[in-house]
Structures are given as structure tokens and as C-alpha cells.
Amino acid sequence: MTTTDTGTRRGKAAAGSEYHAKDGLLLEVEDLYVEFHTADGIARAINGVNFDLYEGQTLAILGESGSGKSVTAQAIMGILDVPPAVIPKGQIRYCGEDLLTMQAEKRRKTRGPEISMVFQDALSSLNPVFPVGWQIAEMFRVHRGMNRSDSLERAIKLMQRVQIPGAKERVKAYPHQFSGGMRQRIMIAMAIALDPAVLIADEPTTALDVTVQAQIMALLQELQEERQMGLILITHDLGVVADVADKIAVMYAGRIVERADVYDLYRQPAHPYTKGLLESIPRLDQKGQQLAAIGGLPPNLMRIPEGCAFNPRCKYAQDVCREDRPALRLVAPGRESACHFAEEVLNG
Amino acid sequence: MAEAILTATDLVKHYPIKGGVLRRTVGHVKAVDGVSFELLKGETLGIVGESGCGKSTLGRLLMRLEEPTSGSVVFDGVDMYAQKGRAMRKLRRDIQIVFQDPYTSLNPRKTVGDIVGEPFDIHPDVVPKKGRRKAVQDLLDLVGLNPEHINRYPHQFSGGQRQRIGIARGIALNPKVLICDEPVSALDVSVQAQVVNLMEKLQDELGLSYIFIAHDLSVVRHISDRVGVMYLGKMAELGEEDDIYGRPTHPYTQALLSAVPVPDPTLRDKKEQIVLKGDVPSPANPPSGCRFHTRCFKAQDKCKTDIPLLELRPDGAGEHLSACHFAQPREIIETIDLTEQGAGNAV
């Protein structure tokens, strides 16, 4: 099904997109900074984030609350509230074009057909006073100029695609008539409606029960493979990441502190924070395990510690860590870590 | 074997659904529908299940924050629901609770000293008035907070610290049983372990028995001695931690275990996953017979009509309680034993 034009997503050129992913490179985030100017001071949510996303790739962004993972997603989507948010520096290039300097109207047209997003809380993301079919169909009416009946027809097809039973009958039902898992399926249907090249899923299963979580993750993976989307999966759950991601970027205090192939990272973390996280979670398949908790708390974004932001909680910390902020650097083939002692961490 | 400190027998809690103009009762939400178990002295009994399975209602019943529709709880030889007035108040000292959300369960207008000291106001004979400040500071110290922060307000603490405050309040009266309703689910991953470790430490030091209610099967396995799996108001399976995780016989437990993502990418393709169809049905109108039959991969006609009893059924190595007509052990996860006896050996 792949087109002969190398590096182009199947069907993308046919659908008439004006963007062209050279060598499959969809998204480049470069030296991105985001701060929030509040009455209490400036919260530095993102402090120099870099990453690329290719077609068919699943990049997991892992972090705790306040690590900047969701803000990164919102910056890419262009849905940050400005003000209080300010983007003082950085580029977000989609197929080579910088979204941050793009004209507002042109950027608006990327949201949906090119880049789209699934949110954590499906209930508050859906409008309670319109039928779900109408809300899905809106994508086609607004972006494709379809009429009511054609767009509704497409909405039913999408509902069937995301495996909502009785799609034809339920197209006129309202969000509250669906369960949490079904609502998340509706959100996914809306997100993939216009066949986007990039899908951002921000904690898509956090609000769901574990048996439903498994269904939704399986659906997301299936859709990604079928459409060769670039998927950014934002989560705090190390288990979910291990199941689906290709690459993983660990964020702490607004920076990527480690990035690696998912197999390498779990086998041998190269940053003390990642190592700490892996040692602190109870595993379903282990008994009698000692949980080595990371001491202390994630930093306040208004007062990020000097030097390495993790230094007050780190057992490897030396004077250099309190003075000099380590850059994300290559420490082994395919392994990047922002730690002065990454080699030591990596080797035991 | 240790003796039971708390015995629940056939606990039922139905909430009426009012409908129509006259607000007549048109049905019942069967939140807890016949649950029996024993809690032994000094042990941790984990209760797991998905949302709506009745695990939180069960916790509230054990606290007597709700009156049961029927059934009994015997605590230390005393029938809890038969107690009144002073006798009940005395009983309450021995059973305390830690809530899920450390943001809403602490009064924002009270200082930490007031919050942790409030149990002493209600039960003034535990600590004399003069010694209270000291008692509160000792408690703060015990849960790993700075005793000098006694005059601070909840908003000055992080989520993990707030949960410590909730725990300090829970253990203030020296209870025998602590009911923990999702105590770590609102916390960040790196902070979760701190609180879990604290709870284990307190159990050792104070000889507490825990009822640990949670949806996270990994945390429950870590902390529990025995585990009960609930589905739609009923106990589906109950046994030792090894029984439930190593030799589950109920299809629901098996599906639940197989759905939990394990943080190890090398297991990605090795793990078999039982993906259940659909969602949990409404507890207002639970399925007939076995409540799990609508989603079960083993269901047969019998399951639609006959309610399976929670009874001892063989699990390959012995037997444990399971409520399935077709109970059969199935290994879902390969356990790595890190305990001292079996360090590093797979069981």
C-alpha cells in the first residue's frame, strides 16, 4: 500500500497534503523553551527540548507531573494559552516548516489534517450537548467542506473503524450515553478522521480501567501501523511505554534527561533519574522486591535548582552537578543522557 | 496461623435509585452484594478491582461510614453494626481510614497540627490535653515529616507529604486496623514508593493490619499477604498473594493480570494477553448467574443461570477460593522471586 515515492506516507500525497515528509521526517522540535508568566513569578515549564519524529515511529515521552511532557504536546499542537504561556525560543518544524512562525490561518489548517491529538479526559473533551456523530462529522464539514449527510456517513465508518458496537444506531447518541472506554474511542475517531501524519496521545488511558486500557492501547497501535502515523505517546506509566514504544524520551523539570531505544533504556538506564524510576516501581511479575524510592520531591518550576535539576535527589551528585547543567549528549551508540556521570550510571 | 481480627460475613450494600415524579424507588445499585472475608492480625489484605466493583463501598462499610443493607462485621469478637453510642465510638478508635485524594481529604483551613490532632479532640482520653502537641509532633516524625511544620497548612505540602499527613491522622489513635482506600494512586511514580515503604515500616513497627484497596495490581502484589479480586460487588477470587498472581483460577483475574503492562519491553511479544470484550456492566442491573459471564471467554449456558459460589477450588498446587464454575489454574505471569529464600529464582 506504500506509495513508490520513498519517505512519503501511504495515501498522504493522494489526499492532497501540501506537506512533504522528506526521508520520513515528520516533526523536529529544536531547542524549545516554554515559560508561564504568573503573578507569583515565571514558571519555566520547558527548558530546551529537542527531538525528531519519523513516520511509523512511536516516541514515548515519559515524565511525572510538572515535567513538561503535556506542555510539549500543547506547544506542538499550538493550543497553549498565550499569555500566560510564552515561547521565548525554539522551533517546531513540521515537514520542514516552522509551526511557531507560521501564519495563524495556515497553522490552524494543520490541526486535524496533519497533526492531531487525543486527550486524557474524553468526557470533558467532548461537547455534552451534541451527538457524538455530529462531533466527529464536524471534522469533515469544517476541513473538507462536506455536507451533513456525507459527513455523517463518514462518521459512522470511523465509529466502526474504532470498533464501537452498533455504530449506525449510536451515531446520534450523546457523550454521556457512552462508557469511558467508548468515549475514548470516539476521541480517537475524531483524531484520525482526517488521516493525520502525526498523532499525539496525552495520557490516553490514564483515566481508564486496566482491561479497557489494554483495548485502547491495542487500537492505537493497530491504527498507527495501518496508517504509518508518527505517534507521540505521553505518559507517566513505565508499563505502557514498555509495551508499545520504539523510542523513549524521559523528561524531568522541563528537559529531556535521557533518550534511547526502549529495549536499551529498560535494560540499562543511563540517567540516575530513569534508574531511580525503574527501581521504585513495583512490578507485577516480581515478589519480595525492595522498592528503592527516590528521595525528595520534583522541583518547583519557579525555582529549578542550579546545575542539574535532579541533583538534590541524586545519589551520584557531586559539586559539578550543583554548578554545571549537563547537556544531553551521546554516551554510547544510540544512547543519550544528560548526566555528568552517565557512563558510571550506565556501567552499574 | 494468626487469628482473625475482623470477619465480614455476607456484606450487602444496595443503594436505592429514585425515579419518576414521586421519587419512588425504581431499582437498586448493588454496590456490594454478598462479600465475606477474614482479616488476620498483622496481615495486609489487598482488595483489587476495576471502578464500580464496590471496593470503596466495602471500605466505607468496614468503617461504618455506611450502614449495610444486610450482613455483619465482627471486629475483635464484637458485632460492629450492633454497637451504639459510646461503645461504637470506642470501636472507631480501632479502625481508621486513609483516603485516596490527599488534596480533598485534608481541610485547607486547618493546620497540620489541627488535622493530625483532631482524633485526640474526639477521643480526649487517649492523650491528655497537655501532651497533645508533643504527640502530634511524634506522629509527624514517625511518618517522615518535619515536626516543626506543625503550624503549616495543607497547601504548603506536596501530594506525597499530604498523604503522609493523612496517614499520621489515621494512626493517631493507635488503631488495630487501617483501611487504605487507593492511598497511592494520586501520587507521582517517584513518590509512590516512598509512601508504600512508609506504610510497610509502620505496619512492622505498630503491628497494624491493613485492608489495602487499590486498582493497581502491581502495588497490591507488592504490599499484600493475601488478595481479594472483586467484580461487580462480588468477590471473584480470594487467596494468598502467590495463589492469585501465580495460579489464578478465575477467568476475570486471569484477564486482569494479563492486561497489566509490565515495565519490561522484552516481555512484549512473550506475554499472552486476554483482551476482554466490552466494559463492566452497570451494578444497577448486573447480569444473571455469574456476573462476569457477559465478558467471559469461558462462559457457557450454566454461567447465565447459576451463580458460582466462592469456594475452595483446586489451583494446581493446592486450593484457594474462587467463584467460577470452570475454575482452572493458568499461569499468566512468570514470577521472579526476589525474597531471601528464593533470591533470583523463578517460581
Q: Write the DSSP assignment of B127-162 as a string of letters.
A: S-GGGHHHHHHHHHHHTT--GGGGG--GGGS-HHHH
Q: How far apart are CA A224 and CA B280, in angstroms?
A: 27
Pairwise pLDDT comparison (B341 vs B61), residue with the higher score:
B61
* pLDDT for the residue numbered A109: 87
Q: Provide φ and ψ at B109, rounded to 5°.
A: -95, 0
Position B130 scores a pLDDT of 86
Residue A15 pLDDT more than 70?
no
pLDDT value at residue A5: 40
pLDDT of residue B345: 47
Please answer yes or no on whether B256 and A210 come within 8 Å at the CB atom.
yes
Q: What is the mean pLDDT of residues A276-284?
A: 89
Is the pLDDT confidence value at A267 over 50?
Answer: yes
Mutate to test the interface with A, among B190, B220, B276, B296 (most CBs of A within 10 A): B190
Q: Nearest residue of A to residue B194 by CA position?
A: A293
Map residue A318 onto helix, strand or coil.
coil
Predicted local distance difference test score (pLDDT) of residue A337: 94
pLDDT of residue A155: 93
pLDDT of residue B102: 80
Q: Do A242 and B222 touch (CB under 8 A)?
A: no
Distance from CA of A95 to the nearest CA of B (A): 30
Minimum CA–CA partner of B53 in chain A: A209
Nearest CB neighbour to A266, from listed B161, B242, B264 = B264
Kindly state whether B29 is in contact with chain A, defined as any CB-CB distance less than 8 angstroms.
Answer: no
Mean per-residue pLDDT for A127-135? 93
Put simply, whether A214 touches B (Cβ < 8 Å) is yes
Q: How many helices (H) and strands (E) does chain B have?
A: 10, 14
Residue A176: C-alpha distances to residues A186, A246, B228, B261 (Å): 12, 35, 31, 29
Q: What is the pLDDT of residue A14?
A: 39
Q: Are B247 and B331 in contact (CB under 8 A)?
A: yes
pLDDT of residue A19: 81
Whether the per-residue pLDDT at A7 is higher than 60: the answer is no
User: Across residues B48-69, what is the average pLDDT?
Assistant: 90
In this predicted structure, what is the pLDDT of residue A16?
63
- In single-letter form, the type of residue at position B155 comes to H
Residues 278-337 of B with CB under 8 A from A: 278-280, 333-337
Residue A111 is classified by DSSP as B
B286 within 8 A of B230, measured Cβ to Cβ: no
Could you tell me if residue B334 is left (phi over 0), alpha (psi between -120 and 50 degrees) or otherwise beta? Answer: beta
Tens of pLDDT, residue by residue over B232-251, are 999 999 999 999 999 999 99
Does the beta-carbon distance from A284 to B260 stay under 8 Å? yes
β partners of residue A248: A60, A260
pLDDT value of residue A298: 85
pLDDT at residue A4 greater than cutoff 80? no
Residues of B in contact with A252 (CB under 8 A): none
Place of cell 419512588: B24
The cell numbers describing B333, all together, are 505471569
Write the CB contacts of B89 (distance below 8 Å, at least 6 apart in sequence): B122, B123
Q: Which of B335, B191, B338 is nearest to A290 (CA)?
A: B338
Amino acid at B184: V
Q: Decide if pLDDT at A6 tops 70.
A: no
Cβ atoms of residues A329 and A336 within 8 Å? yes
Please say if the pLDDT value at position B341 is more than 60: no
Q: Is the pLDDT of residue B344 over 70?
A: no
With 0-12 CB in 10 A as exposed, 13-18 as middle and 19+ as buried, what is A242? buried
**How far A209 CA lies from chain B's nearest CA (Å)?**
6
Q: Which of residues 194-223 of B touch A (CB under 8 A)?
A: 194, 196-197, 215, 217-219, 221-223
Confidence (pLDDT) at A264: 92
Whether the CB-CB separation of A234 and A208 falls below 8 Å is answered with: no
* A182 contact B CB<8A: yes
d(CA B241, CA B244) in angstroms, rounded, equals: 5
Question: What b/e string do you get for A105-122 counting C-beta neighbours within 10 Å, with b at 16 or more?
Answer: eebeebbbbbbbbbbbeb
Over residues A89-113, the pLDDT tens digits come to 999 999 988 999 988 888 888 888 8
Work out the minimum CA distance from B338 to partner chain A, whole angstroms: 5
At B140 the pLDDT is 92
Residue A334 touches partner B, C-beta closer than 8 Å: no
Q: What is the predicted pLDDT for the residue at B268?
A: 81
Q: Say if residues B166 and B202 touch (Cβ distance below 8 Å).
A: no
Q: Among positive and negative, which fits the CA dihedral B78, B80, B84, B85?
A: positive
Q: What is the pTM of this model?
A: 0.86
The residue in chain A having the minimum alpha-carbon distance to the alpha carbon of residue B159 is A297
| CA proximity to B186, closest of A118, A64, A43, A205 | A64
Supply the mean pLDDT for chain A.
Answer: 87
In this prediction, residue A76 has a pLDDT band, given cuts at 50, 70 and 90, of: very high
